[in-house]
Amino acid sequence: MPPSPPDLGPAPYLITREQSPPNLEFPFRNLNARVTPTASFYVRSHFPTPFLTAEDWSLTVGGAVTRPLRLGLAELRALPARTLTATMECAGNGRVFLTPRRRGVAWELGAVGTAEWTGVPLSKVLERAGLLGTACEVVLEGADRGTLTDPLPTPGDIPYARSVPLDKALGDVLLAYRMNGEALTPNHGFPVRAVVPGWYGMASVKWLTSVQVTAEPFQGYFQTVDYAYWETRDGLPPQLRPIGAMEVKATIARPAPHEEVPCDAVYEVAGAAWAGETDVARVEVSVDGGCTWREAEFLDPPTPHVWRRWRFAWHTPIRPGRRTLVARATDARDRTQPGAHDPARGGYMITHPLPVEVDVRERSP
């Protein structure tokens, strides 16, 4: 007989990691849908939420373009729209499991979610503005601003801004005004945010008010001081690179860490896996701390930029004791997860498999 499902608590809700600015985490053990309801979608904000109005909002498009322009919300909405589903993960997701501890919000597993985004392709807006031949990056800036001291003091009051390379900007970046079929909520960037499919969340600028085409790589705080890492390649000196595409990763939703699991039962191990700009090809699960692996079954088809939920029927041990579960994913280009966290990544891009320890218990009579 299958065990009764774990008590998931009231749904939907978010774990408060920081009250203000709001930094809220999805309790990942509640994963039960391909698309995360907006009320359960994590929130990552560096500055207080700016409360913008649809009437007053406008988007400035300038820089290395032939026709700088300004668009109101009605004008943006009048352009041909697209809807796409994309998984977004904060680059610091899983940070709390690193030793030694790293600076930054103490995310467990749930700074990740999947939503259906509707908006105008950034390429359409850039087409209207006309790119100059010198164009190399597109800087996206939000209406939120403030000062920070961590990891370094900001040069006074700064806005949140990030750039994307021109090919990505002309590819699939969306200027989204709907999330899961509704207007964006204030915390998720009302009225318009960028969605950069397949990239860590920091690129998907919320409360977007400015798009500037540049002829030089952007050197902003969130590009070079924060959300950057030292890339080491054989024979080359380390190079500071802005964080970009998400890397392949599988996460276990159930059992949750330290959950009690009945012995001699069939327990459905469940989770999700994502791989940034490519597809997840395979997920394997180990119920013996990584000694032996078996393939999990997918609940979702491979879809660009969207996680695939997976499950694995675990016949739990006959006798009580501690067990360690691990999951690992491989992407369509045959890349898999690293065995350990690379310290050069700091508190970001945490993709090594995270073991989940459980207590196998005698079944209650």
Ligand X SMILES: Nc1nc2c(c(=O)[nH]1)N[C@H]1C(S)=C(S)[C@@H](COP(=O)(O)O)O[C@H]1N2
Count of positions on this chain that bind ligand X (CB under 6 A): 17
Task: Tell me if residue 188 falls in helix, strand or coil.
Answer: helix
Least distance between Mo ion and beta carbon 92 (Å): 6
Is 112 an interacting residue with respect to ligand X (CB under 6 A)?
Answer: no
Is 172 an interacting residue with respect to ligand X (CB under 6 A)?
Answer: no
Is 190 an interacting residue with respect to ligand X (CB under 6 A)?
Answer: no
Binds ligand X by CB under 6 A, chosen from 28, 160, 218, 307 = 160
Q: In what order do the strands lie in the sheet with 308-315?
A: 249-254, 266-274, 308-315, 297-298
Considering only residues 195 to 214 of the shown chain, the ones binding ligand X according to CB under 6 A are 201-202, 204-207
Place of tokens 């209650």: 364
Task: Name which of 145 and 323 has its Cβ closer to ligand X.
Answer: 145
DSSP code string of 92-148? TTTGGG-SS--SS----S-SEEEEEEEEEEHHHHHHHH-B-TT--EEEEEEEEEE--
Contacts of 99 (CB under 8 A, 6+ apart): none
Q: What is the identity of the amino acid at 5? A: P
Contact letters for ligand X, residues 59-98 (x by CB under 6 A):
-------------------------------x--------
Which residue sits closest to Mo ion, CB atoms considered? 90
Q: What is the identity of the amino acid at 103? A: R
Task: Name which of 204 and 351 has its Cβ closer to ligand X.
Answer: 204
d(CA 359, CA 361): 6
With contacts defined by CB under 6 A, name the span among 38-46, 119-127, 170-178, 229-237 that binds ligand X: 38-46
d(CA 332, CA 310): 16
Q: Is the dihedral of CA 148, 150, 155, 159 positive or negative?
A: negative
Q: Which listed option, ligand X, Mo ion, none, makes contact with residue 117 (CB within 5 to 8 Å by class)?
A: none
Task: Name which of 220 and 262 has its Cβ closer to ligand X.
Answer: 220
Is 142 an interacting residue with respect to ligand X (CB under 6 A)?
Answer: yes
Least distance between ligand X and beta carbon 24 (Å): 8
Chain residues that interact with ligand X, rule: CB under 6 A: 41-46, 90, 142, 144, 160, 188, 201-202, 204-207
